[in-house]
Structure 1
Amino acid sequence: MLRPIVVGLDGSRESLTAADWAAREALLRGRPLRLVHAWEGLPSDAADLPELEVPRHWAWRILRTAMDRLHEKYPQVPLSGDQIARPAADALVTATAESELLVLGSRAFSGIGGFMAGSVASATVAHAERPVVLVRADRTAEDEHLPDAAGLPSTVTPYRAVVVGLDPAHSCEELLAFAFESAALHTAPLRVLHTWQLPYIPVSAEAKARRALRGTAVRRLDRVLGPWREKYPSVELHAMTEEGRPAQRLLEVTKDAGLLVVGRRIRPAVLGTRTGPVTHAVVHHARCPVAVVPHE
């Protein structure tokens, strides 16, 4: 049975945009689409209280309206919806265990609500066992493609590039698998970015150290990418080794990208969960969708 693409739905503009993005992705990947709306409500022994009728009605309406709209726009995509009586983060994390990927709506870091300004998405991204894709409210199907010859938005031009941030010093198989597969599915170029920084050394030694570090970075990246070049020969690959802070360089490289892929190391429970500073920064500031891929 095919794993579905799951969307966390809360009725916001962000989550509806995420549902559209997920439907297009489901179409490309040949996957079913599952909408999940989490609403705690009250215990079952209070289920007949009249004051629950209105919130229950609106909770169901959020799900039903979204399903009707998506079925009309993407009739080829197998679609299902579930209302789960659990806290949102718990429901979404549980849903990812049986999903291909989870898609959430997000806002830029502003502190005014929405998934990414609160604890729901942060907890979901930090605990999810499968990739989580975060999509901004202003994202359209045209934004996934390059402009046409006249510079106008289009849905029939080639897809924009997929970008993945990589540290070859750590395990990155899951990260590269997701990035290469996404690029192949969209027939999009793949930019693999590895950044390095010059340590504090005397000025007189900087030029020599810079050449050495750049050469080491290039060799490391080429060694990691070698098997993937052979596995995905049709993917147009751009290996990039650049000096600078990882988050800053990733944000610069993704200004015209269609998808940014970053990793989250899976940590033992005793150490807690965190997304890491680079992932945290790009999740809040990148304009394109961001895929956070858990890895060892």
Structure 2
Amino acid sequence: MKHHVTVGVDGSPESRGAARWAAQEALLRQVPLRLVHAVDWPLDPVLPGLGRQDVDRWADQALTEAAQELHGRHQNLEITTRCLTARPAAALAAEAADAGLLVLGSRGLGGLVGFVAGSVAMSTVVATDTPVVLVRAADDPDGPDGPGTGSGSGSGSGSGSEIVVGVDIHEACDRVLAFAFEEADRRHCPLRAVHGWKMPAAYSYAPFFDPDNERDIGRSVTHMVGDMLLPWQHKFPHVNVSHNVFMGSAGGHLVRASQGAGLVVVGRRVRRSPLGAHLGSVAHAVLHHAAAPVAVIAHD
């Protein structure tokens, strides 16, 4: 079993928000927190005239300040720091290998809800099989000037808010559902499963389409989603579970369902190609537009 939560730290408001969120998650899991900073050297010509000593000093300062702030909020939380010299995405993916969860910061879209998932975050998500959560500064459980939680009650990190999980009846979702149910169980919050479906392409060419067929398919898909959730409901009897089945884009429905949610959980099918791993369209849409932290779970 993997016994710590890892978070990427670079001194930005987004990474500070991610660190606070990760600290709350570590408290919920009752595991240590590891702060990681990766220095991509050399930095020239991006920052000409900046020496290696300056970069190392700045990296140490970013880690020290983050650790001190979190220690002030959560005296009982075990916190360690690591500074690595490597490309950030590769370093974070390597650090995630022995972690139970990797947390990354992401910029919000100004006055709009959603994310700007940068190249480092996107590259890291597809480079690791460890669950990854993207957090915006707006998702910070306490806020930069908010009150600390002292010894750490675990009341943040979306605790108590609904968790939304995207499910696909055409693929194995065990890792995705395991993560979602475990999170809902430790947060004592409800879980809502969302599935979007489309009519078979052949129906587009049918000269006489019967609307009853659409209703029948919708009912059938709803039963299939319920059957998929049933074993997990038996395993986690204290989790209050509901499910919504919609005709249309799964990504769009998950984005709308993210309003007011504490966490959105989506799957990422592990696909390898000559061009490397990539995200599916649903995970991509949710990562860029959800109004809550997003957990991406790799699965076969």
How much does 1:158 deviate? 6.8
User: Are 2:299 and 1:295 aligned?
Assistant: yes
Alignment of 1:9-88 (within 5 A): 9-41=9-41, 51-88=51-88
How many residue pairs match? The answer is 276
How much does 1:54 deviate? 1.8
User: Are 2:187 and 1:186 aligned?
Assistant: yes
- Distance in 1 of aligned mates of 2:263 and 2:276: 28
Q: Which amino acid aligns with 1:223?
A: D
SS of the counterpart of 1:264?
strand
SS of the counterpart of 2:58?
helix
The match for 1:152 is none
Cα deviation code 1:95-115 (max 9, x no counterpart): 1110001000012358xxxx9
The match for 1:147 is none
Q: Which amino acid aligns with 1:77?
A: L
Specify which of 240, 248, 255 is matched with residue 251 of structure 1: 255
- Distance in 1 of aligned mates of 2:205 and 2:51: 68
Which structure exhibits the higher relative contact order, with contacts defined as CA atoms closer than 8 Å and separated by 6 or more residues? Answer: 2
SS of the counterpart of 1:194?
strand
Q: Which amino acid aligns with 1:291?
A: A
The match for 2:165 is 164
The match for 1:46 is none
Verify the 8 A CA contact 1:6 1:103 in the aligned structure 2.
yes
Seen in structure 2, the aligned counterparts of structure 1 residues 23 and 201 have a Cα distance that, compared at 3 Å, is same
- Distance in 1 of aligned mates of 2:93 and 2:52: 26
Q: Which amino acid aligns with 1:166?
A: V
Q: Which amino acid aligns with 1:171?
A: A
The answer for unaligned runs of 5 or more in structure 2 is: 43-48, 144-154
How much does 1:27 deviate? 0.4
SS of the counterpart of 2:209?
helix
The match for 1:268 is 272
Structure with more of its chain in helix, by fraction: 1
How much does 1:282 deviate? 0.8
SS of the counterpart of 1:66?
helix
Specify which of 225, 240, 243 is matched with residue 244 of structure 2: 240
- Distance in 2 of aligned mates of 1:116 and 1:9: 17
How much does 1:118 deviate? 2.9
Seen in structure 2, the aligned counterparts of structure 1 residues 292 and 50 have a Cα distance that, compared at 3 Å, is closer
User: Identical aligned pairs, as a percentage?
Assistant: 39
SS of the counterpart of 2:7?
strand
- Distance in 2 of aligned mates of 1:158 and 1:118: 27
The match for 1:175 is 176
- Distance in 1 of aligned mates of 2:211 and 2:3: 51
Seen in structure 2, the aligned counterparts of structure 1 residues 203 and 9 have a Cα distance that, compared at 3 Å, is farther
Cα deviation code 1:233-278 (max 9, x no counterpart): 1100002111121111111111111100001011135462111111
The match for 1:151 is none
Verify the 8 A CA contact 1:165 1:192 in the aligned structure 2.
yes
- Distance in 2 of aligned mates of 1:70 and 1:197: 46
How much does 1:212 deviate? 1.9
Verify the 8 A CA contact 1:108 1:285 in the aligned structure 2.
no
How much does 1:206 deviate? 4.2
How much does 1:142 deviate? 6.4
Seen in structure 2, the aligned counterparts of structure 1 residues 22 and 205 have a Cα distance that, compared at 3 Å, is same
Verify the 8 A CA contact 1:196 1:213 in the aligned structure 2.
no
**TM-score, scaled to structure 1:** 0.87
- Cα RMSD for the two superposed structures: 2.4
The match for 2:92 is 92
- Distance in 2 of aligned mates of 1:251 and 1:258: 13
User: Are 2:131 and 1:131 aligned?
Assistant: yes
The answer for unaligned runs of 5 or more in structure 1 is: 43-48, 144-154
Verify the 8 A CA contact 2:267 2:296 in the aligned structure 1.
yes
User: Are 2:232 and 1:228 aligned?
Assistant: yes
Moved more, 271-280 or 166-175: 271-280
The match for 2:213 is 209
Q: Which amino acid aligns with 1:17?
A: G
How much does 1:198 deviate? 2.8
Seen in structure 2, the aligned counterparts of structure 1 residues 95 and 240 have a Cα distance that, compared at 3 Å, is same
The match for 1:148 is none
